[in-house]
Amino acid sequence: MENEKSIKYKDLIANAIMLQNVVDMTDVLHEMVQDGYPVTLEVVATFSPYLTEHIKRFGEYVIDLETIPPPLQPDKPFLTPEAAGRIEAVVT
């Protein structure tokens, strides 16, 4: 039973880290588009939310339960308008 709890806990932590990585990457890509950088589908396709360089495997993590994170913004644009238009053309 303890092994099952440990595995579920590790999965939960891994999913939380990947979700935060997606949020961080979306924010940076959005800023790049706003600054005029050409963010295209080809560029975004090379990214992965499975980044591990910043994770302290045996480190301590402080969880601040008082601070409420900002809401997710799934509609936040992170592609140049041209690249976003190519996606709309494929979807419709």
Q: Look at the chain and report how many structural domains it folds into.
A: 1
pTM over 0.85: no
Domain that holds residue 38: 2-91
* Residue/partner pairs of 73-77 with CB below 8 Å, 24 or more apart: 73/26, 76/26, 76/27, 76/30, 77/30, 77/33
pLDDT tens for each residue of 2-30: 777 777 788 888 888 888 888 888 898 88
CA dist., res. 29 & res. 76, Å (int): 10
Residue 35: pLDDT band by 50, 70, 90 thresholds?
very high
Residue from 70, 84, 73, 69 nearest 33 by CA: 84
The residue with greater pLDDT, 56 or 72, is 72
Residue 65 has pLDDT above 80, yes or no: yes
Predicted local distance difference test score (pLDDT) of residue 92: 55
Q: How far is CA 58 from the centre of its chain?
A: 23
